[in-house]
Amino acid sequence: MDAVLESLGLSQLPGDDSINIMEQFQEGSQLMVVNCYPQCPEPDLTLGMPPHSDYGFLTLLLQDQVQGLQILHREDWVTVKPIPGAFVVNVGDHLEIFSNGRYKSVLHRVLVNSARSRISVATLHSLPCECTIRPSSKLIDESNPRQYKDTDFASFLEYISSCEPKKKNFLESRKLST
């Protein structure tokens, strides 16, 4: 997070958004998810995980050597080839909102494999559920107007409970009309 804040040009001075966000991040949540995608004789008939973006700030993913993770890049699904011992770092919806769109949340999915099972371990890092996420005031000005509404975990839960599973796109619901 220090590197992310530095890349956004946010200094850690008293009263700065970055100090507040780092304090909140320290008190935030970390969720570890272990996924096992069994081999599937007909992988074209199912997805291991449907397209989604991660709700929080950052996700660190450790995957085995079986391909399956794909990201949407310029309207095409691109396979993320596993690198032994390396983490995949996904930007989440909260970081896109906080950065006022400078960082982009990653739409991704997981395919199953016909020959081998796949295992991944993800750690999702977020602010506390009671926090309100908003664009940093230091990243909004006349040439870079605010692009997102404030959001919180309650808004997220309300949104996902009101949508058809294949049409969930929470981040789009938080964008301001331009």
pTM of the model as a whole: 0.88
In a domain, 81, yes or no: yes
Q: Domain with 133 in it: what CATH number?
A: 2.60.120.330
Q: Could you list the residue range(s) of the whole structural domain that residue 86 is in? A: 30-174
Asked, for residue 90, whether it belongs to a domain, the answer is yes
List pLDDT tens digits, range 107-148.
999 999 999 999 999 999 998 888 999 999 999 999 999 999
Residue 20 placed within a domain: no
Phi-psi region of 125 (alpha: psi -120 to 50; beta: other; left: phi over 0): beta
Number of domains in the chain: 1
- Residue 93 in any domain: the answer is yes
Instruction: Bin 120: left if φ > 0, else alpha if -120 < ψ < 50, else beta.
Output: beta
In the beta sheet, which residues pair with residue 62?
Answer: 87, 121
pLDDT digits (tens, 9 = 90+) for 79-114: 999 999 999 999 999 999 999 999 999 899 999 999
**pLDDT value of position 14:** 58
Residue 36 inside a domain? The answer is yes
In a domain, 16, yes or no: no
d(CA 40, CA 149): 41
Question: Cα separations (Å) of 107 from 52, 110, 111, 146, 153?
Answer: 5, 11, 14, 22, 19
- The encoded tokens of residue 136 equal 């940093």
- State whether the Cα torsion 63-64-68-73 is positive or negative: positive
- Report the percentage of the chain scoring pLDDT > 90: 60
Is 168 inside any structural domain?
yes
Residue 83 confidence (pLDDT):
95
For 15-33, the pLDDT digits (tens) are 566 667 888 888 888 999 9
Q: Does a structural domain hold residue 18?
A: no
